[in-house]
Structures are given as structure tokens and as C-alpha cells.
Amino acid sequence: MERMRELVDLLNKYAYAYYVQDNPMVSDEEYDKLYDELVALETELVFRLPDSPTLRVGGETLKAFQPYRHRERLYSLDKTKNIEGFEAFLERIRKAIGSIPMLTLEHKFDGLTLSLTYENGKLVKGATRGDGEVGEDVTAQIKTIRTIPLKINYKGTIEVQGEGIMRFSAFEEYNKKAAIPLKNPRNGVAGAIRNLNPKVTAQRKLDFFAYNVGFHDGYRFSTQEEIHQFLIDSGFLTGAFFHTVSSSKEAEALLAEIDKNRASLDYLIDGAVFKVNELALREELGFTEKFPRWALAYKFQATETTTVLKDVIWQVSRTSKLNPLAILEPVDLMGVTVKRATLNNYSDIQKKDIKIGSRVLVRRSNDVIPEIMGVYRHAENSREVLPPEICPACGSPVRKDNVFYYCTNEDCAPRIISAIDHFASKGAMDIEGLSEKTAEQLYNDLQIDSVDKLYSLTREQLLGLEGFKDKKAENLIAGIAASKKVTLSRFLYALGIPTIGKKGAKQLADSFRTIDGVREATAEQIQEIYDFGGVMADSVVNFFADPKNAEIVNNLLIYINIVEEDEPPKDGVFSGYTVVFTGALQNYKRSAAQKLVTEAGGRIAESINASVNLVVAGEDAGSKLNKAKKLNIRIIDETEFESMLTNSNKN
């Protein structure tokens, strides 16, 4: 029993570091080994501790939800959509208490409100909000959520309130495998919590953000700041955004910041919440029949809406893939009139049961083309979306590969124009003045049908094109000239290698250091790069093996000078080292260890090559270790690695 207690405490500690603090303490392999030992011990003893992490996988299916009466009512919040409404809220408070007090400001999460009851430090009940007074007992479901602690230090009775959410990353991962995809993360969390089978809840990989304490005995909170800190100290996940404000001007600036950054969050928020900080003032202000007078929800413009899908057209990409594009009945969304939306592929269209003529649910991030999340309602005249049989641009036959369709014509005009546009884009060669429209003009009027031909363009040729005057021609020539000095990662990304984005290009550059190193790499060597699979490795090898691509790259290298990466290496104990990690580390996740090396001046490579001069070998190190020994590369273990880090910190 002593070993069981030790394992449970250790695993809960590691899970808290991983899921709440986003700071892994051990490798996945080490965690799994301890978890398997705990499962075996629980099976042998036919007993589980109440805070065992094995409880989070979900138990037996429930027959029905039981009602649960909250010890304190969970009120909804009064709302506003503009700063004038917020100022009116401040004025009401000023009239009631004679001054404007300090307020707290937090994200307004868009999920499902939940209340957790702890008694004597143990989680004993989880419930939905319901009507605020009576909710549904969903204890079995909420125990599957890893960011809900099963045990806290508070020894009295306490109700912790917060929001169950499904992150976009979890939502997207779930939909990749789901027979029936979810429409949005909000529906995903509601359906998961209100599902009688807790195992379904566990599959959705939900999170819980705590933001309030309701009923509690044995402790006296005086401010919302104290409540927020108590939740953090008790091991709950809380919103990263928490500020205090005392004026309309401060509030307006912070609201603008939240609205600007919400598209980059991995979870839905639909606004922000203001609360009077001092709890004594809250008691003085009191409640209306529906709302607390001391709190206000500020709602942002919706990121989702519904509209009618009028048609689906197919567009040719730079890789010759035909991408479906939804043509929508125009609708206002986040202050922009939306007429088009992305559809991932034909398989996704079928899974979501998307039909022309149906009303669909559309979501838009701030700077991303809207995406159709699912069907809101079919119409009588709804009709199936048909896959393409011929290329809509050139009429060539279409080839189906897995879930995608490709034009079989290598000289298809949209494909070439898109490749030129990508090559010149900001994250690639960054050729100022070369837009997609200009790429089309160069292709049609000057027969620029491959990216290497850009470097032989002359000012005189450009002046012969419609819309090109001296200044415009000179700017484009100057932009092309400036692109001749470029980092390897940007050059690789610009080439448009299928499946290789900016991150993959940077990893290739860091691993092989030179363009020749990348061109000569085998699929096996490339697969040694973290997160690179067989498809990505084969894509790189096949790209450079293609005679046409090889000729274009050779021509480009006549003009282009590949320079060191944009970011100069930092000074530190790993300066001058190019480091490869192999095997499992006990105290670090590989990505975290790699980050420590780069912060201390080193470079990271994913495979053994001529530039590598240090290998950190963990448990079960394989072929990389053997290869390093053959090449007489310096090899250290985790203890020596930590010693180097300690010296780095001293410096």
C-alpha cells in the first residue's frame, strides 16, 4: 500500500507539471512505466486510492444523471457589447457605494460551466450549472479531466467553479479519427460532459479552467485576487490573463488586447469578465433577481455564424492538389463580410455531411480565411457535393491519392503561378512587389513558368507589362536582388516541398546545415528528425530526386547565396556545440532539453552528421549512439548534461 501511495503522488505531481504548468518533469516513457506499475498493483490488490490517476480513464456507463443542488446559487452575468455599457456599469457601482472600486478582469471562457465540490480535501462531486440552483451530477465524467485535481489541501467543504473546455488542438485531433466529427469545441465539451458514458468524456481530452470559489467553510477570502491565487496554489488550471483595473481607459486598452490576441488562443473565449475585487463590497452591492450587481460580462463579436452554402469549387494549389473552396451567401462575421470558406478535403465534406444549399456553421479567426465547422440545418433542395473528375483549370484528368485529388498536368497554369507566389512570400524568399497577381502576369506575358527564371528578369521586360512604370519595375528588380541572400530554412520552405512547412524546413536546416546535406540525405536519416515520419522523409527525398526540381534548384544556386540562420546563436556553455539527443531522459522531455541547449548557446541536430560534436545519450539509446561512437563524437549522459547546465546557470 505504501508503494501505491508513492506512485499515485508521483504520477499526480508529474501530471500537474505536464497538463497545468506546461513544464514536463519526466519523459513520456518514464511516466508510462510508472503508470503501468500502478495499474498492475491496483489489479493485484483489487483496490484504488481515491486520487489515483487511473480513475481518469472513465468507468461504467451511467443509467441516468442525478440532480444536484448547489450549496450556493450560480448566477449568470449581466452583459454588454460596448464600452458605453461598461461605463454605465461603473456608474451604477459609483452611485451605490460612492466611488469606483478596483475590478478584476479575466477571460470569459466559452464552454460548459461546472461546479466541483471538495470535502476534507477530496473531490466528492462534480455538477453542471443547470438553472443555477440545481444542476446534474456529472462526477464520473469530470474525473476524466486531467486538469481537475482529485485532491487539494483545503480541509473544509468548498465549491470551486469554472469552465469545462475542449481545446482547438484536442478538437482537431478528435475529429481526425471520429466517425461523426464535432461541429465546434463548445459542442464537443457539452456533449462529452452530458454523455452517460464517461469513457466518451475521456476520449475528448477536456480541460477545466477554475475562476471562482462558491460555498466554503473554515476560510475567509477578502478579494478576487486571493481567490485566484488560492486556485493556483490548490493545483487548478486558471486563465493566463488576470488583471486589475480601476478606470474605463484601462479597461478599454486591456479589452482591445484580449480581442486582438484571442485568435491565437488554443481555446474559445467569447469575451471578458469584470468583477469587483473586494468581497465586502460585493456583499454591499448584492444581487438582482438574475445577476450579481458587482460583475459584468463584456461580449466580443462572435467568431461563428451560420449561412447558406451556395456552391463548392475546386482550386489548384502549387503541389497540384485540388482544394475545395466553399462559396457562401455573404454574411457579416467579426466586422468582415464573408463570402468564402475553406473545406479540408472531400473526405471531410462527406464526414461533416456538407451539402450545397444547406445552412452551415462558419468560424473565422482574425486573420484566417473562415472554415466550415459543420451543418447547421439541411434544406429541401440540398444536394451532394461531387468530387472533381477533371482539373477545373486545364481540363486534365484528376488523380486520387488517399483523400486528396490532384491535377495530372505538371504544366497546369494555377499550379505554376501558385508556386511562384509561394516562393516570393514573406516567410520564404520575401520578394517585395511580387504578388499572386504579378506572378500571373509574369507567367502569361513573359513565360516565367518556374521560379529560377525570376532571376533573369530585366527592368526592360517589366516595363513592357501593363501597369508597370519605372518605380514599380525598379522595386521588383530590387526585391528579387535582395532575395539572393537567404537562410537555408527559408530557401527550403520557398521551394515548396510537399508536406514541408516552415517548422519542417527549419528542422531540416538545423539537422543537415547545408543545401547539399539536405539533398544528399536518405529517407532513413531524415526520419531521425523529431516529428518527421516516413511520408515527410519520402517527400523530401522524392522532391530532390525529381530531375526537373533538381535542375531548378541548381539554377537557383547560381544566383542565391545561402547564409547563416537569422537568429545569431547565444553565448553559453553549449556555444560551439551542435548537439544530438538520443534515448529517453529521466528528468526532461526532449523538446525541453533541446530548448535549454539553444538558450545556452548551442545548436540542435536531429541526426548524426558532420556538424555534430556532442551527443547526449539517455536510456535505450539506439543507432545514433552507435554511429556517434564510430565517428568518435563526444558522448555524455544525463548527469553530465545536467552538470553542464548547472555551470551555464552559474555563468
Using one digit for the tens of pLDDT, what is the confidence trace for 103-133?
999 999 988 999 999 999 999 999 998 888 8
Q: Is 108 a catalytic residue?
A: yes
Cα-only R_g, the chain: 29
Residue 24 in grid coordinates: 514536463
pLDDT at 431: 94
* Residue listed under C-alpha cell 477533371: 390
Residue 95 CB: number of other CB atoms within 10 A?
8
Q: What domains appear along the chain, each with residue ranges and CATH number? A: 2-57 (1.10.287.610), 79-299 (3.30.470.30), 304-406 (2.40.50.140), 413-483 (1.10.150.20), 487-563 (1.10.150.20), 578-650 (3.40.50.10190)
Give the burial string for 597-612 (b: 16+ CB within 10 Å, else e): bbebbbbbbbbbbeeb
- Report the alpha-carbon distance of residue 589 to residue 586 in Å, rounded: 8
Helix residue ranges per DSSP H, 425-546: 436-446, 459-463, 470-482, 488-494, 502-512, 515-520, 523-527, 534-545
Q: Taking the model in full, what pTM does it have?
A: 0.57
Residue 491 in grid coordinates: 530557401
pLDDT at 322: 93
- The DSSP 8-state label assigned to residue 569 in this structure reads P
Q: Using 70 as the pLDDT threshold, list the residues of the chain that sit under it.
A: 17-30, 32, 56-63, 335, 365-368, 530, 565-570, 610, 648-651
Q: Specify the pairing of strand 304-316 against strand 295-299.
A: unpaired
* Residue listed under C-alpha cell 527549419: 506
- Report the alpha-carbon distance of residue 97 to residue 444 in Å, rounded: 72
- CB under 8 A, 24+ apart: contacts of 277-282: 277/101, 277/102, 277/103, 277/104, 277/223, 277/224, 277/225, 277/244, 278/101, 278/102, 278/222, 278/223, 279/221, 279/222, 279/223, 279/224, 280/222, 281/97, 281/101
Among candidates 241, 247, 275, which has minimal Cα distance to 259? 241
pLDDT at 91: 93
Residue 509 CB: number of other CB atoms within 10 A?
22
- Report the alpha-carbon distance of residue 552 to residue 546 in Å, rounded: 10
pLDDT tens, position by position, 331-350: 888 767 889 998 888 988 99
Q: Please name the residues in contact with 190: beta carbons below 8 A apart, sequence gap of 6 or more.
A: 111, 112
Q: Among 13, 33, 95, 108, which one carries the catalytic annotation?
A: 108
Q: CB-based burial of residue 469 (10 Å sphere; 0-12 exposed, 13-18 middle, 19+ buried)?
A: exposed
Q: CB-based burial of residue 364 (10 Å sphere; 0-12 exposed, 13-18 middle, 19+ buried)?
A: buried
Q: Is the torsion defined by CA of 483, 487, 493, 495 positive or negative?
A: positive
Whether 407 and 417 have beta carbons less than 8 Å apart is answered as no
pLDDT at 259: 86
pLDDT at 429: 95
pLDDT at 25: 67
Phi, psi of 122 (to 5 degrees): -110, 140
Residue 3 in grid coordinates: 508503494
Q: Please name the residues in contact with 407: beta carbons below 8 A apart, sequence gap of 6 or more.
A: 316, 320, 322, 391, 393, 394, 396, 398, 399, 415
* Residue listed under C-alpha cell 464520473: 140
pLDDT at 366: 47
Q: Please name the residues in contact with 289: beta carbons below 8 A apart, sequence gap of 6 or more.
A: none
Residue 253 CB: number of other CB atoms within 10 A?
11
| Cα-based distances in Å from 371 to 168, 309, 331, 382, 641 | 13, 12, 13, 19, 46
pLDDT at 379: 92
Mapped onto helix, strand or coil, the DSSP state of residue 582 is strand
pLDDT at 22: 52
Residue 244 CB: number of other CB atoms within 10 A?
14
Mapped onto helix, strand or coil, the DSSP state of residue 316 is strand
| Cα-based distances in Å from 408 to 389, 489, 538, 549 | 11, 29, 20, 17
Phi, psi of 270 (to 5 degrees): -120, 15
Whether 614 and 607 have beta carbons less than 8 Å apart is answered as no
| Cα-based distances in Å from 125 to 165, 265, 278 | 18, 30, 28
Residues 542, 392, 450: CA angle, nearest 5 degrees: 45
Q: How many CA atoms lie within 13 A of 251 on its CB side?
A: 26
- Report the alpha-carbon distance of residue 476 to residue 469 in Å, rounded: 11
